[in-house]
Structure formats: structure tokens, C-alpha cells
Amino acid sequence: MRRVSILGATGSIGQNTIDLIDRAPDAFRVVALTGGRNIARLAEDARRLKAEIAVTAHPELLDDLRAALAGSGVEAAAGAQALCEAGAREADWVMSAIVGAAGLAPGLAALQTGATLALANKESLVCAGALLLDTARRHEARLLPVDSEHSGIFQALRGEDIAAVERIIITASGGAFRDWPIEDLARATLDEASSHPNWAMGQRITIDSASMFNKAMEVIETREFFGVEPDQIEVVVHPESLVHALVGYRDGGLIAHVGPHDMRHAIGFALNWPERRDLPVERLDLARAGALTFRAPEAARYPALRLATAAMQRGGMAGAVFNAAKEQALDAFIAGQIGFTVMAEIVEEVMARLDRDAGLIDAPMTLDNVTRTDHLARQCARNVMAERAG
């Protein structure tokens, strides 16, 4: 029986993971579940799955969580430290599905126990790829990708030599605004940005898909995960979202990963790895799917891709700056404080300002330094936005 914990259990990835665990109750024992504000969902799942502990990120919600778990025998805890302790509880497999840089420390805590970390939280790799990989190496822990593109790459690489890889192509749906006139993007509303043409996901990643910041992060994630050079990674817009990724080998061959829009494939692949087991995902009918189309992403529509390339070329803490500035700009867009296209302008300005601080960007990659960079980049983003507003 595999002992599993789910960090970010109340979110879209967390709930899909729980759906798979619910279908095979004899195969898994649940150790820890963590959530944020959705106490009812966290407590209900913790009770049903007989988790050892449920943790909310928010200390002010601990009493509510305790009340919701009363009589269940499930422990309750709250706060950042408790999230790390949940990650560090003895388990074989931990899902990292907290959204944002907040997922980094609990994920590292899980790796330090030698557990397998299924990584949906791409922000961890963007902020601190070297730290995450080094921690996994030192503790003989395994990182498995959960993003559908990276799961696809991982599967297309199985049994192959990474040295024979010429390029990796990840596809992008193009997001909610792929067919809008570029001059209309500045007026895009929160509702319009929050609806994805193909995938049902959390709100933040859906907006990041519209801006292509999600794909930009995935490009960095590809570099970190598979150790390829930035110029070996290509992004192609594929509106049908059925081909998730392709690996191109030096003999010219391309191996693609193809599947329906259902994250339970990538989650289930990681959950059952190294075996393949039955998964409740639709079997793709290619004849019904019809044409698969591909086109190059337009640089003017998706400036986030150029910013990700700049972050990779700069290296060091530039990824942490990129991610924190993006998270802060996204918060401001969600709060109605800035327009859709201003998000990329803020990220570019923050990267330019902090790039001058070599002591920050080139500091050794420790959790403390990543956290400090994250705070400074958020503060810088707030300053840039305040200057623009004033």
C-alpha cells in the first residue's frame, strides 16, 4: 500500500488526485492533506480518506478546521511551518499542488525525506530548479513531472538517451485570447481571461494560459527538469491541445505524447509510476478529433515567452524574480488594479531593475536566498505599480 500526501489537496490538481485515490482505496493510505481557505472540502476529504493530518495554510482558520474534524481522529494544524511538517511526514509519494512559490518549501521538505515528489507546482522549478534537483539528488528522492507537457516529455524520453535529444517542443493552447486582435488585449477583463478554451483548471493558471505566462514557466520547467539548453526548447500553438509535447531526436525523429484534456492522465501516470495502470480517462478517437493544427506563437501577443528566455539566459535567481513579479502582477490583475497587458510590462520592469543587483541574482541558491529574492521582487513589483498609478 502506497502512503501518499497531497499538498494543495483542495485545488484542481489536488481534487483530481483524490478522485484517482478514491477509485483505488486499497492501493493507497493517505498521510497528509493540505489546503488553504476551503476548510469544508479539506475536512470532508480528510475524514473520508482517513488522513493522519489535515493542514490549512491560514492560522486564523485553524479553529474552523478543528471544529470540522471533531471526532474524526484526524489531526489539525495550520501555518507555513505546519505545511512543511505535512510535507515531511513519512510518505512514499507526495503530490506538490500548492499554487505559487508557497509550494517550494513544503516540496523541499518532502524531498528531504526521500519521498517521490510528483510536481505540479511548476513555480518551484522556476524559482529554484537547481535547489530542488540538488535536494532530490542528495536525499535519493525522485521528482516526477505532473504538468501534462512535462509528463508527455518524460514518457517520450523513456528508454532513450537524453544526449540524443535535439529539441523539445511543448504545445500551448494559445489561451482565451489566441484569436483576439492584439490591440484588444489591453481591454481584456478578468472574466474573459478566466475561461480556458480547452482545460478546466484553477483560476490563476487559466489566466496565466491567456497571457502565456504559464507556457513561459513551462519552458523554464523544461530546462530545469530535463537539463536541456534554452535554445533546444520550442513552443508551438496547438489550439486542439491534444498533442502535449514532442521530443525531437538527432536522427530527425519526433516522438509525441497525445491525449485528451484530462489531468488525471499525467497525475495517474505519476501516481502509479513506474507501472502503468488503468485510468478513467477518455480514449482518444483520432478520427473524431479530426485535424490537428499548429502555428508559431506571435511574439507581440505573448511577451511572456521572451521574458522567460531572458530569465533563463540570466540564470541564478532570475527565475525567482520572474515568478514573484508575475505572481504580484497577477494578483493586481485579479484585484482589478492593472490591465491584462500591463502584467508583462511589470514583470519586464522588475527583471530590469533587479538585474542590476548582482549580489541578489548571483547569490547561492538556498531556500533563504530564494525567499529573500521572492520578497524583494514582490516589493519591487508593488513599487513599479504604485509609480505607474501615481
Residues that bind ligand NDP (CB under 6 A): 8-14, 35-38, 57, 83, 97-99, 102, 120-123, 147, 199, 201-202, 204-205, 263
CA dihedral 264, 265, 266, 268 (to 10 degrees): 70
Q: Which is nearer to ligand NDP, 122 or 361 (CB)?
A: 122
| Residue whose cell numbers read 522567460 | 308
* Nearer residue to ligand NDP within complex by CB, 17 or 341: 17
Task: Give the nearer residue to ligand NDP in terms of CB position, either 68 or 120.
Answer: 120
34 and 4 Cβ atoms separated by less than 8 Å = no
Buried/exposed code over 183-194 (b: 16+ C-beta within 10 A; e: otherwise)? eebeebeeebbe
Minimum CB separation of residue 314 from ligand NDP in Å reads 22
Q: How far is the CB of 181 from ligand NDP (least distance, A)?
A: 28
Is the CB of 37 or the CB of 295 nearer to ligand NDP? 37
Minimum distance between the CB of residue 199 and ligand NDP, rounded to whole angstroms? Answer: 6
Residues in the chain: 390
Strands 53-56, 28-35: pairing is parallel
Q: How far is the CB of 147 from ligand NDP (least distance, A)?
A: 4
Per the CB < 8 A criterion, the answer to whether 141 and 115 are in contact is yes
Strand order in the sheet with 116-119: 75-78, 53-56, 28-35, 2-7, 93-96, 116-119, 143-145
364 preceded by cis ω (within 30°)? no
Q: Please say which residue, 35 or 239, places its beta carbon nearer to ligand NDP.
A: 35
Nearer to ligand NDP, 42 or 346 (CB): 42
Residue appearing with cell numbers 484553477: 202
Q: In this complex, which beta carbon is closest to ligand NDP, that of residue 147 or of residue 374?
A: 147
Least distance in Å: CB of 183 to ligand NDP?
Answer: 29
Torsion of CA 264, 76, 203, 117, to 10 degrees: -40
Rounded least distance, CB 379 to ligand NDP, Å: 17
Q: How far apart are CA 224 and CA 202, in angstroms?
A: 24
CB of 263 to ligand NDP, least distance (A): 4
Q: Which residue, judged by CB position, is nearest to ligand NDP in the bound state? A: 11
> Can you tell me the distance from the alpha carbon of 50 to that of 264, in angstroms, rounded to the nearest whole number?
22
Q: Which of 2, 11, 19, 77 shows the shortest CA–CA distance to 264? A: 19
Q: C-beta of 293: minimal distance to ligand NDP in Å? A: 22
Is the CB of 122 or the CB of 301 nearer to ligand NDP?
Answer: 122
